[in-house]
Amino acid sequence: MDFIKGITFGSFAPRDSFKTVASKESLLRMKERTGADFVIFVPAGLQETAQSEYIDFKGFRTIGDDELIEMIQYAKSIGLRVALKPTVNCLNGTWRAHINFFDNDVHCEPKWSNWFESYTAFQLHFAEIAENTGCEMFIAGCEMVNAQRREVEWRRLIADIKSIYNGPVSYNTDKYQEEHVAWWDCVDVISSSGYYPLQDWDQELDRIEAVVKKFNKPFFFAEAGCMSAAGSSAVPNDWGLAGEVNLEEQAEWYREMFDKTSKRDWVGGFGLWDWAWRQYHIGDADKQRGYDIYGKPAELVVKEYYSSK
C-alpha cells in the first residue's frame, strides 16, 4: 500500500453541499496547502436512535449521488486518490459506538438482523459508486464499537462489498479497539481512529503493532486529529472540550504524532480529521477551536510532514 497522505473532507455534508463552487475550491485548497494526495469522503447514514433498525441514506441529510460522483471525479482530476467511508450516525446525538441490540432475538424488540440488513444496503449503495468511479479504497464504516462483536454479520458484509467493489476494503475501528476486532483477516487494510493523548503515543503504538503483526495487514489511521483548544492534546477525541483557543497546542500534538509514528514503518498513513467543504475566512483562523487546520500552525506541520513522504 502506498503511503496515504490523506485528509477527510466535508464529513457528513448534507445534500447539495458539493454542488457549490466553494466546495471544489476548498478541496483544491486542501491539496495545495497540505500536500495531501488522498481524500476520504464520508457520506452519512442516519438512524433515529442507537436502537433503531432503519438507516436513511437517501434523505436531505446525505450528500446526493450525482454531486458525490462529480466531486470524486474532480478530486481525481486534481491528482487525489479517493476513499469512500459511509458512516452511520444517530439523529438524537448518541454516538454510533453505542448502536446495540440484544444478542439473541426477542419478540417485539429491535434486532441485529434487521439493522444489518439496512446497514448492508447503505454500504453496498456506496460500494457501487466507489467501484464505478474507480475509488482507491472503500472503508466499511467507522467506530461501530458495540456492533463489531457481531463477527458473522461483518464477515458477510465484507464479502458482499467485495462482490461489488474490486479495490482494497478497510474498516475504521475506534481508538483503543484495534485488538478487539476478531475479523481483521477478511479486510485488506486495518484502520483506526488515532485520537491518542500526546504523551501516550509510544504505548498505544506498541499495542497496535501487535495487532498489525498478528494479522499481517497494511495499517493506517483513517482518522486522527486534535482540536486547537487548551487541553485537547490530552483528550483529542473530546470534541465537546470547552478550552480556550490554543493553536500551538494543536500544532504540537501533530508534531508529536508524526514524530512517533514515523518511527514505525508499519504505519501506512493518515486520513486526518478534517477539512470543511465550506471554510471559515482564513483571517479568522486564530479564533477557531475545532479540528480544522486551515490557516493554523498545524497546517504547516502537516504540509512539512506530507511533503517529506
Return the minimum-mean-pLDDT range out of 42-46, 77-81, 103-107, 185-189. Answer: 103-107
Q: Which pLDDT score is estimated for 237? A: 96
Q: Are 15 and 58 in contact (CB under 8 A)?
A: no
Cα 289 to the center of its chain, rounded Å: 20
User: If you count them, how many residues does the chain have?
Assistant: 309
Calculate the average pLDDT of the chain.
Answer: 98
Q: Which pLDDT score is estimated for 303? A: 98
Maximum distance among all alpha carbons in the chain?
A: 58
Please report which confidence band the pLDDT of residue 151 belongs to, taking 50, 70 and 90 as the band edges: very high
Q: Mean pLDDT throughout 198-210? A: 98
Q: Which pLDDT score is estimated for 70? A: 98
Three-state DSSP at 137 gives: strand
Q: Which pLDDT score is estimated for 263? A: 98
Q: Which pLDDT score is estimated for 281? A: 96
Q: Which pLDDT score is estimated for 200? A: 98
Helix (H) or strand (E) holding 124: helix 112-133
Q: Mean pLDDT throughout 146-162? A: 98
Q: Mean pLDDT throughout 208-227? A: 98
pLDDT digits (tens, 9 = 90+) for 278-302: 999 999 999 999 999 999 999 999 9
Q: List the domains of the chain with CATH numbers.
A: 4-308 (3.20.20.80)
Q: How many whole angstroms separate alpha carbon 248 and alpha carbon 254? A: 10
Q: Mean pLDDT throughout 54-66? A: 98
pLDDT digits (tens, 9 = 90+) for 8-28: 999 999 999 999 999 999 999
Buried b (16+ CB within 10 A) or exposed e, 69-104: eebbebbbeeebbbbbbbbbbbeeeeebbebbbeee
